[in-house]
Amino acid sequence: MVSFMHKWPRPIVWSAWVVIIWGLKAAEPFLIPLFLAALLSFLMSPLVGYLESKKIPEWLAVTFSSVLLFLPVVALGSLLLHEGSVLIRDYPIIINAVRSHLDSWENSSFSQRFNLTQYFDIRSLTERFSEDAGKTVATVLAGIKAVAEASIHFFIILFFSILMLACRKNLRKSAERLMSYPKTLNAIIILIEKFLLTRIGLAVCVALIDVAILKICGSRYCILFGFILGFSTFIPAIGFILGIIPPLVSSIAFENPPVATGVMLSLLYIVSSVEGHFVTPKFLGKQLNLNLFVTFLGLFAGELLWGIWGMVLSIPMLGILRIILAATPEYRVWSDAMAERTES
């Protein structure tokens, strides 16, 4: 394939990439449901294969797997949309409360005693923090809006995922004919399924633990913020920092006790550290992870192409791409460049 590409003049190759990127942007309304359906079909495929090995008819295995996956997804989506609607209602209250707390801190005895205004422009810091907090909460609201819009296409996504499951054998045969490495196709599919199941499973487990911590510490929107923290584990290093801002802002705005806020932050940090340094490397392995540069490049490109959904889909798509490149000898060097390496 590389030799084939080298036959084309470089300007034509670059022009082709520009056309492809433009096409991806223009086809957003069609491609997002299609990619979501593909990810869901990968998640359901192992269960369908297991049921078929027990002599259960394919149509029944596909139906059972679809119901088993989509019922929890619908229930969780309803909860998140409910809390999201409450957050949208409280959004002005939260921002005004944060501003009020920062203004009162400027005039506090602590600030006056140490003359902090001499060293810091507290007014400017207040405005900057309020602006950043508002952007963070606004990003959360944009994500809620994206989920709500996707729910409109729920039946389209369900239809595509079931269709892909039912046609997976024919799709696999077609892929074997198109690929130059058909013998490794099964290994690639198994790795992709392992990657998606493990990564999403770990994110859900972290989310449930974080929901419990937020609930115990008296945080509002605990389900919504817990799952934001859970799925921020897709982003290495800085994901926790981005995910912790909404519950911290909410805690400040609604005057949670400082002790409860401190305990909440400490427990959430412990969960994030255990997941990042012990659990994920053990169950997933760093060889399937992406390095920090590629992660943020994917997030940036995904946001430019498809907004919030582009950021959501970019990490699993890059993980799948890295697995495919690793299985192709001529492209393995690119896979190594994307991977997070461990010290030998």
| pLDDT tens for each residue of 80-90 | 778 877 877 78
Q: Establish if 62 belongs to a structural domain.
A: yes
Q: How far apart, in Å, do the first and last CA atoms of the chain sit? A: 33
Q: Establish if 335 belongs to a structural domain.
A: no
What is the C-alpha separation between 65 and 320, in angstroms, rounded? Answer: 22
Burial (CB count <10 Å: 0-12, 13-18, 19+), residue 134: middle
Higher pLDDT, 183 or 119: 183
What is the C-alpha separation between 303 and 202, in angstroms, rounded? Answer: 24
pTM over 0.85: no
Using pLDDT thresholds of 50, 70 and 90, give the confidence band for residue 47.
confident
- The domain containing residue 162 runs over which residues? 1-166
Residue 238: in which H helix or E strand, if any? Answer: none
**Tens-digit pLDDT profile for residues 110-141:** 555 655 555 455 556 555 655 655 566 666 66
Average pLDDT rounded to a whole number, residues 274-296: 75
Q: Establish if 294 belongs to a structural domain.
A: no
Q: In total, how many domains does the chain have?
A: 1
Q: Establish if 286 belongs to a structural domain.
A: no
Higher pLDDT, 150 or 67: 67
What is the C-alpha separation between 128 and 70, in angstroms, rounded? Answer: 41
What is the C-alpha separation between 238 and 44, in angstroms, rounded? Answer: 30
**Tens-digit pLDDT profile for residues 202-219:** 899 999 999 999 999 988
Q: Establish if 317 belongs to a structural domain.
A: no
Work out the angle between the directed axes of helices 28-53 and 122-152 (0-180°, nearest 10). 60
Q: Establish if 172 belongs to a structural domain.
A: no
Q: Establish if 188 belongs to a structural domain.
A: no
Q: Establish if 20 belongs to a structural domain.
A: yes
- What is the SS3 assignment for 242-265? HHHHHHHHHHHHCCCCHHHHHHHH
Q: Which of 104-108, 223-227, 288-292 has the highest mean pLDDT?
A: 223-227
The pLDDT mean for the chain works out to: 76
